[in-house]
Structure 1
């Protein structure tokens, strides 16, 4: 079984503390390890003959939306965070579940925001999907669900590596785009619109919920549904973290105590935690 990147980096830092490695050598190793993960991410998402992930993501959006103004598309992507914030503040009552869920179902700005995020230009945290894939491969997982799948990039990564992939989201806008992205890559996928359908029972070996729970009106109910969807012995991989962020008012959950309590009551056992890079956790269904 391979040592996952966060664990490897933690081990290397201990070598620094024991004077077996210099700080400079550590950061060179970290840079190299993250570069490997970046290449895996890029190989999965790049379209045929493309060499630059940013250009691929912008071109995909333009092709899907029927917009050929490349400069404008990049500006919209770079302004995605601000556009999502504006949409939220203008349209959402965070105390009203229907208002929150309607926002995600209809938002177009999220297409730009998420696609830009997945270029890795501003933030490398999407590479947590590569760590999750390696965990799933190490544990022989075959059927995979990405819950809160967004624009489908994580699912594309898993599908490229042969896992049977299912995407679930509350946003019809994002699901249509994700399904289109799979189709132009000739990758099979099943999409579940959570406004209409429920997740199948005991169907998945591994489920990811990456940067999702802080957006949910009822994360406790969500974790119950995910737990039912896992096969016995299956794994839930997610980041259960949220903090007040003026630029991201859609992060409505900061206290995950009730979610962890429910996981424990359901028999969830934490079997791994990223203690170095992004803080994701893995819970196994016992």
Structure 2
């Protein structure tokens, strides 16, 4: 049973024990809950106490199961035959692609985040062209992305896995990973039967993704932005994981996403705007202004399973 109004309302409250309810909200709830709040408010308090006591242990178990599901689906999609897990497989792929030993590839992965941060600070790009050129020329990004996308049970592919589960629930088929990075999310989509496409400004990353797809026998489409124009209404779902904060003009990118989505299509994205010590390349855009612009374009904003992410419906 869902109690959605455990708060102090602005007006017209009905007190049930120590809790306040809007009777208007209760009228839309289950009749039993409405009756109990008006006739036997002590029962509401008893139910609330039970929920407070039992919810943490119940949901910790549910969440642990959800994390295992993320991990298993992600590992299955990314791990090549003969390897123990996605980390080992991805490092071996990187070593083979770059023509270095696995030990050297692992060392590159381990130090890539710091190297990337130092490179950004040294170059200090400011204009849109400078920022784009940075991502096109910075070779340490492969190692950084491979390392981040294969952290056991931390990233665990939860973004991509929840997105593909959402796509299945909604009956979606054509999926674009916007800002595709090392291609891990696109591989996950293609592995589980979606028509996957990848788009990025970094040509060397797209070359790596093509190589990974070919090695797995997967098919996909690849767009090198901004040169390649994506047709209007091409996709049912666009995912943008840790992407908009890297763009000099995220609103223009959002307009493009709106254009390439079919009517009724979805964008799933997070918006970690603002630099941090580890990620100085996260640009300080205004989150509220971005969301206002999304509504102006015609997006309907909805919550997603992962609280830091949003679903924007065209």
Asked if Structure 1 and Structure 2 have the same fold, meaning a TM-score greater than 0.5 normalized by the shorter chain, the answer is yes
Q: What residue in structure 2 maps to residue 154 of structure 1?
A: 185
**Distance in 2 separating the partners of 1:137 and 1:181:** 24
**Distance in 2 separating the partners of 1:115 and 1:16:** 45
Q: CA deviation at 1:197?
A: 1.4
Q: Is the 1:215–1:250 contact (alpha carbons within 8 Å) kept by the matching residues of 2? A: yes
Q: Which runs of 5+ in 2 are unaligned?
A: 1-46
**Distance in 2 separating the partners of 1:212 and 1:194:** 13
**Distance in 2 separating the partners of 1:15 and 1:130:** 33
The structure with higher relative contact order (CA 8 Å, sep 6+) is: 1
- Picking from 68, 73, 79, the partner of 2:111 is 79
State the SS of the aligned residue for 2:171. Answer: coil
**Distance in 2 separating the partners of 1:127 and 1:100:** 28
Q: Deviations over 1:82-109 (max 9, x none)?
A: 011122122232x211110001111111
Q: Is the 2:196–2:221 contact (alpha carbons within 8 Å) kept by the matching residues of 1? A: yes
Matches within 5 A, 1:211-222: 211-222=242-253
Q: Is the 2:264–2:313 contact (alpha carbons within 8 Å) kept by the matching residues of 1? A: yes
- Compared with structure 1, are the counterparts of its residues 15 and 196 closer, same or farther at alpha carbon in structure 2 (3 Å cutoff)? farther
Q: Which runs of 5+ in 1 are unaligned?
A: 1-13
Q: CA deviation at 1:20?
A: 5.8
State the SS of the aligned residue for 2:82. Answer: coil
- Picking from 79, 82, 92, the partner of 1:46 is 79
Q: What residue in structure 1 maps to residue 123 of structure 2?
A: 91
Q: How many residues align?
A: 268
Q: CA RMSD in A?
A: 2.0
- Picking from 235, 241, 259, the partner of 2:290 is 259
- Compared with structure 1, are the counterparts of its residues 278 and 184 closer, same or farther at alpha carbon in structure 2 (3 Å cutoff)? farther
- Picking from 199, 221, 243, the partner of 1:190 is 221
Larger radius of gyration between Structure 1 and Structure 2: 2
State the SS of the aligned residue for 1:21. Answer: helix
**Distance in 1 separating the partners of 2:291 and 2:64:** 33
- Picking from 73, 79, 99, the partner of 1:66 is 99
Q: CA deviation at 1:71?
A: 2.4
**Distance in 2 separating the partners of 1:55 and 1:169:** 25
- Picking from 173, 189, 205, the partner of 2:204 is 173
**Distance in 1 separating the partners of 2:304 and 2:106:** 35
Q: What residue in structure 1 maps to residue 235 of structure 2?
A: 204
State the SS of the aligned residue for 1:89. Answer: helix
- Compared with structure 1, are the counterparts of its residues 125 and 255 closer, same or farther at alpha carbon in structure 2 (3 Å cutoff)? farther
Q: Deviations over 1:229-257 (max 9, x none)?
A: 00000001100222330221110134222
Is residue 280 of structure 1 aligned with residue 309 of structure 2? yes
Is residue 113 of structure 1 aligned with residue 144 of structure 2? yes
TM-score scaled to structure 1, two decimals?
0.88
Q: What residue in structure 1 maps to residue 28 of structure 2?
A: none
